[in-house]
Homo-oligomer: A and B are copies of this chain.
Amino acid sequence: MIPVAKASRMTLRQLGAAATLKAMEAAGVEAADALYAANMLGDELQGQKQVAALIADEARLFGIEALQVQAATASGAAALRMAYLAVASGEAELALAVGAEKMSEGAAVPAITKSLDAEREVVTGATLISKNAELTRLYFERYAPPADALVHFPVNAHRNARHNPNALFRNRSVSPRAVRTARTIHPPLRLYDCSPICDGAAAVVLAPTDEARAFSPHPVRILASSVATDRFRVDDRDDPLALEAARLSAQKAFRQANVNRDDIDLFEVHDAFSIMTCLQLEAVGFRPPGEGWRLANERRIGLRGEIPITTMGGLKARGHPIGATALYQACEIVLQLTGHAGKCQVRGAEVGMMQSIGGAGTTVLTHVFGV
């Protein structure tokens, strides 16, 4: 992981190459067969396509297979899945999944909005932020939770980020009051309901389980990798608050990993917006619909809670450099499962799960890791 920054001094290619080389060094490998890269905004913000080949070139991995994967705001997880497929198929012995994003150049928000349906959502003036605002309003209208129901999701994220050296918001406490009274971004969303615009890159090295033991005495295993989609447009869904793709991809992943919800020791959610955390916890089944917000307190989602989430800060406080985000999640789960998460450690963590959401719930990827 490269520390997340508001505006990195490194260029997009430098960020990607630095994370790649750092991951290879950490894994003890000197070459790889393939590099799958995620980068959502490079064609708009840097005018750059073929980012995988660009990162490979910058990392001097000449000749290597290099392809870029795209699933809007879930792109990082798509790169992880592609590396997983390459290794599982026997096509690669060592595959790199790298994510890099440099959002500090140009207009990131309009570019992110391309996650929505251009013909039927964007033309109505919708943005990814406004769709999340709408879902938040709908949630409060339908279920009438207390006004501060979601406040502790960002409070928890910021509490955990304090001790993560790679987090954008290190050493900063955020009180419930600060969350409640922060400036409005897009009503009813306030500042701490939204993840920040930032730069970053992260990477992981994948190998077949047996081969991985040659590099590490305790490799972390990918127990499941799954993807599901919902109706593309929020308004086409039977229930806009149901996050059907999150439910489906979690179900697939649980079957594949042969685990159930109770086996999950920590869950890296896609907390790009507080409402997404809440809906995800409901979709995966940690609480029934309309009750996800009840988990939003230290005893439930804290490091020693019932289901620790955003254990190293999440998208909200570690940061959400989009294409890189899922690779940060993967790295953080590796730290947790190997006992290297420092003050963010979830004690005895053996099974970790992550979800990434493309757009307003359109594409969801679930990965489950175990030791």
Contacts and interface: CB of A to CB of B under 8 A. Distances in A.
A223 to B, nearest CB: 14
Nearest to A48: B118
Interface residues of A, number: 62
Give the top 3 A-B pairs by smallest Cβ distance, nearest first: A88-B89, A65-B227, A89-B89
Nearest to A111: B43
Contacts of A78: 67-68
Given A68-B70, A71-B68, A85-B86, A231 B50 contact: no
Contact of A229 (B64, B70, B229): B64
Contacts of A180: none
A54 interface: yes
A356 to B, nearest CB: 11
Given A13-B119, A85-B89, 12 more contacts: A34-B227, A43-B111, A48-B118, A51-B70, A52-B70, A53-B232, A53-B362, A62-B230, A65-B227, A66-B227, A68-B71, A89-B90
**Can you tell how many copies of this chain the complex includes?**
2
A43 B46 contact: no
A33 to B, nearest CB: 10
5 contacts: A48-B118, A50-B232, A53-B232, A53-B359, A89-B89
A69 interface: yes
A72 B11 CA distance: 20
A63 B114 contact: no
Nearest to A227: B65
B66 A363 contact: yes
